[in-house]
Structure 1
C-alpha cells in the first residue's frame, strides 16, 4: 500500500467559509482502490468501505475519472478525478478550483467536495453525456447556447477587468513543446507530419495580431466545451457543463468557436460534422438573446449582430486548433492515457491550414 495512504492527514475538515476541504492523500494508479477508499473514508465516513464500488469513465483524455458509490440505485455518487501525469505543466490547478467554486455559486456547476494531493472530488451531475449527434439537436444546442451565455455573464469577483488567457497559454505550450523535443519520437513525428516549430510560432503571432483587432469581449469561459463535458437532463430541461481545468477569462468568440470545433469529435475526428452555417446562426441568436438578458440589455437580436458574431467566432475557431494541437503534442510526451495524441494533433493542425485563408478573408458586415 502507498505510504501516503497509511498516514492519512486531513486538513481543514471544518473549513471556514470560503475554504475548500483538503485531504492529504496521494492516489497511486498502481494501488487505486485502496487509495480511493482511504479518501472516501474521510468524505463519506458512514459508507461501509467494503461496499464501495468504482465505475471508471473512459472518455477523458487528460485525467482518470472514477465514479464511487455504495448503493445500487447510485443516488449518492462521488466523482474522483486523478490528475494526469505532468498536467501541472499546463493546467493551473488553483485556477481550476477557484472557477469550480465560482460556477457552483452561480448554479452553473457541481459542488466541489475536496481536493487531494493529485486530484479533486466533486458532485456527480445526473443526465446524459452529449455525443456528436445529440449536440446538434435544436432543443439541446439552444440550451448549450443559453448556458454558455449565463457563464459568460458572470463578473469577476473583485470587479476588475481580467486579461484573456489565450495568448499566454499558447506561449506556455510553445515553450514546453520546444523543451520536450528531446523526445526523439515526438521530434521525428513533428518534422514529418506538421509544419516546423518556427512556422507554428509565426502563425500564432500573426493570428494574435489580427484577432486582437476584433475586440471580442473578455469573459469567464469554459475553454474546453467538447461534447463529453456537457450533461443534458431531459426531465428537468437543462444542460450543465463539467470539467473546468482550462476555464478562465478568455475571448467570448474563442469559447464559442472552440465548442463548434468540438462537433467534429475527439477519438475519431470528422470535420464533416462541423456545424452548418444555419445551425451556427441559430445557436448564436439564442446565445445573444440570453447574454443580453443576463446583462440587463434589451434582448432583441438583429441579423447584423448575429452576422458580426458569426465572423468573430469563425476567426477565433482557427486559433483553438493550435491550442489543442500543441496540447496533444505535450500529452503524447507525458500522458499514460491510452489515446493517439499524435494523430489528434495532426488533425487539428491540418484543418487549421485547410481553413486558414478562407476564414481570415471573411469580412465583417
Structure 2
C-alpha cells in the first residue's frame, strides 16, 4: 500500500527526513510538492525500518530508499563506522550510494532489482551467482583493522544480554556459562589457519538482490559487515537457507533443511574438507551470535518480530548440535 509520507514514520521527526529529501530533490533539479511524496514500507528488515520513497518529476518519478534506524540498534554496531564502511564499499562499485543522512536514519540510492525470496536462496543457478559475488566481496580491501571482530562482538553482546534480560531468561539461555562456550569455540577454531577477509555477516535473502535481465547479484545492508573468518560468513549464509521471514511464523527457521551437505557432492580434497568442517563448526558460532542478538533485540526494539522466540530456537539448536559437530 502506498501512503503519504507525513506522519507514517513512527519515532522520527518528519521535518528532518523531509528536509533531506527536499535538499536531494533540489540537487537533482526536481520541484517537490511534499503532499505528493509517497512511501511504501518494505517488509523483512529486522534491525531497521525501511521505506521506498517516490515523488513525481516533470517526465517520470524519482525513487530513493529511506532507512530508519531501529530503536536500540546502536548497541550492535557503531553507526559512524557503518557509514564509513558503506561509503568504502560504494567506491569499490558494490551496492547503493549514500545520498543523505539525518539524525534517525539515512537516504540511499534505490536499487532497481528484485530482492530474493527464501526459496531463491536454494535455487542452484542463483546460489552459484551468490557464491561468485561472495568471493568478490571477500576480496575487498577495506580500510581499518583487518582483525576478525567476531569473538569480541559476541562477548560485548553477551554482557549486554545479561544486563537486559530477566533472571528467568538468563537461566533459560544459560547466560552464566556462555562465556565458557565462546572460549571453547574460539580455541577449537583457532587451532588451524583461518582465512580472514571482509565479510558481510548477514547474508539473509532480504540482503541479496538480483537483476533478472543481467543476472547481476547485489549485496546490500552492511551494518554487521567486518573482517571475519570466511567460513563464518559461509556458515551464516547457509543457516539463512532455513529461514523465511515472510511466513506466518517468521521467527521460526526450518533447521531440518540440509544446508551443508550439498557441498559434499563436490570433488573432495584436503582444503575443501577442511572448509566444510570449519563451516559446520561456525554454524554453532552463528547460533550463539544470533541468539544473543535476539535476546538484546527483544529487550530494546519495537519492531514486530518474536526476537525472544527466535533466540530460543537458535540456542536450542546450539545445544542440540554441539556434541555432534565438536566430536573429535
- Fold in common (TM above 0.5): yes
Post-superposition shift, 1:34?
5.0
Matched residues in 1 for 2:148 and 2:128: separation? 26
Work out whether 1:315 is the aligned partner of 2:296: no
Contact 1:261 1:274 (C-alpha < 8 Å) held by counterparts: no
Match of 2:312 among 314, 331, 346: 346
Work out whether 1:115 is the aligned partner of 2:101: yes
Matched residues in 1 for 2:75 and 2:192: separation? 30
Match of 2:237 among 255, 259, 262: 259
Work out whether 1:128 is the aligned partner of 2:94: no
Matched residues in 1 for 2:277 and 2:61: separation? 44
Work out whether 1:53 is the aligned partner of 2:33: no
- List per-residue Cα deviations over 1:108-142 (Å, max 9, x = no partner): 21111122212121111222222221101111001
Contact 1:37 1:52 (C-alpha < 8 Å) held by counterparts: no
Alignment of 1:2-151 (within 5 A): 29-30=10-11, 35-45=16-26, 46=30, 47-71=32-56, 76-151=62-137
Task: Tell me which residue corresponds to 1:334.
Answer: 300
Tell me how large the CA RMSD over aligned residues is: 2.3
Contact 1:65 1:81 (C-alpha < 8 Å) held by counterparts: yes
Could you tell me which runs of 5 or more consecutive residues in structure 2 were left unpaired when the two chains were aligned.
Answer: 1-7
- List per-residue Cα deviations over 1:279-313 (Å, max 9, x = no partner): x357xx7xxxxxxxxxxxxxxx9743322211111
- List per-residue Cα deviations over 1:235-291 (Å, max 9, x = no partner): 11111111010011111111111111111114131112242512x357xx7xxxxxx
Matched residues in 1 for 2:16 and 2:81: separation? 25
TM-score by length of 2: 0.88
SS at structure 1 position matched to 2:99:
strand
Work out whether 1:304 is the aligned partner of 2:270: yes
Matched residues in 1 for 2:88 and 2:77: separation? 18
Matched residues in 2 for 1:128 and 1:210: separation? 40
Task: Tell me which residue corresponds to 2:323.
Answer: 357
Count of aligned pairs between the two proteins: 310
SS at structure 2 position matched to 1:271:
coil
Q: Which has the higher helix share?
A: 1
Contact 1:103 1:151 (C-alpha < 8 Å) held by counterparts: no
